Amino acid sequence: MLIDEKLKAANEHLREKIEKIKIVVTDNDGVLTDTGVYFSANGEELKRFSIRDGMGVERLRKHSNIETVIVTGEVSGSVKTRAKKLRIPEYYLGVDDKLKVIEEIKRKNHIEEENIAFIGDDVNDYSMMKAAGFTGTPADGTVFIKDIADYVCTNKSGNGAFREFAELIIAFTAKEN
């Protein structure tokens, strides 16, 4: 289903949630990546990121003046490199309690929970899903997260899910250029 069709199907409650968004927070593994990790004898070597998802970060910034924040339980050099490539200045690695990070994000950005959109995929994202104003998950997110998400993407993790989520937000928040 195209974004335009989904927008037509979106109810007023969803629209009200999205229009309040000022920042998008994303998990990394299972959202920005396809859940795969390549290991060698030296440890983690590679993670696959979608260029289209990266364009979603850029389009949020350009069209809606919304920045993206990455919050992940992993401590991975590839996440740091990807964040720098996409000019994402705020990212959190090695996070055990993602809910605590919400408070830091709110403080740093002078926003409330209702101003945060979050996209996650698994049980470790549950607390952030419950605390954010608008939530989403990739098509292959776990059932635990699909059950509480405001929006379930048609695209899978690492294959355009973040971009789809971003485009939905842009549709309701785009500023005149």
Q: How far apart are CA 67 and CA 77, in angstroms?
A: 21
**Taking the CB of residue 172, how many other CB atoms lie within 10 A of it?**
18
- Angle subtended by helix axes 12-19 and 161-173, to nearest 10: 90
List the chain pLDDT tens, one digit each, 177 residues.
455 565 556 566 788 899 999 999 999 999 999 988 778 788 767 889 999 999 999 999 999 999 999 999 988 888 999 999 999 999 999 999 988 999 999 999 999 999 999 999 999 999 999 999 999 999 999 999 999 999 999 999 999 999 999 999 999 998 865
Written as one letter, the residue type at 87 is R
Give the 3-state secondary structure of residue 19.
helix
Q: Compute the Cα dihedral for 159, 135, 73, 68 and give only its sign.
A: positive
**C-alpha distances in Å from residue 12, one per residue of 5, 18, 149, 170:** 15, 10, 16, 16
Report the domain count for the chain: 1
pLDDT score recorded for residue 1: 46
pLDDT score recorded for residue 39: 80
Structure tokens of 131? 């605390």
pLDDT score recorded for residue 35: 86
| Structural domain boundaries, residue 23 | 3-173
Q: How far apart are CA 6 and CA 2, in angstroms?
A: 6
Q: Judge contact between 37 and 49, C-beta under 8 A.
A: no
Please state the pTM of the whole predicted model.
0.91
The CATH number for 48's domain is 3.40.50.1000
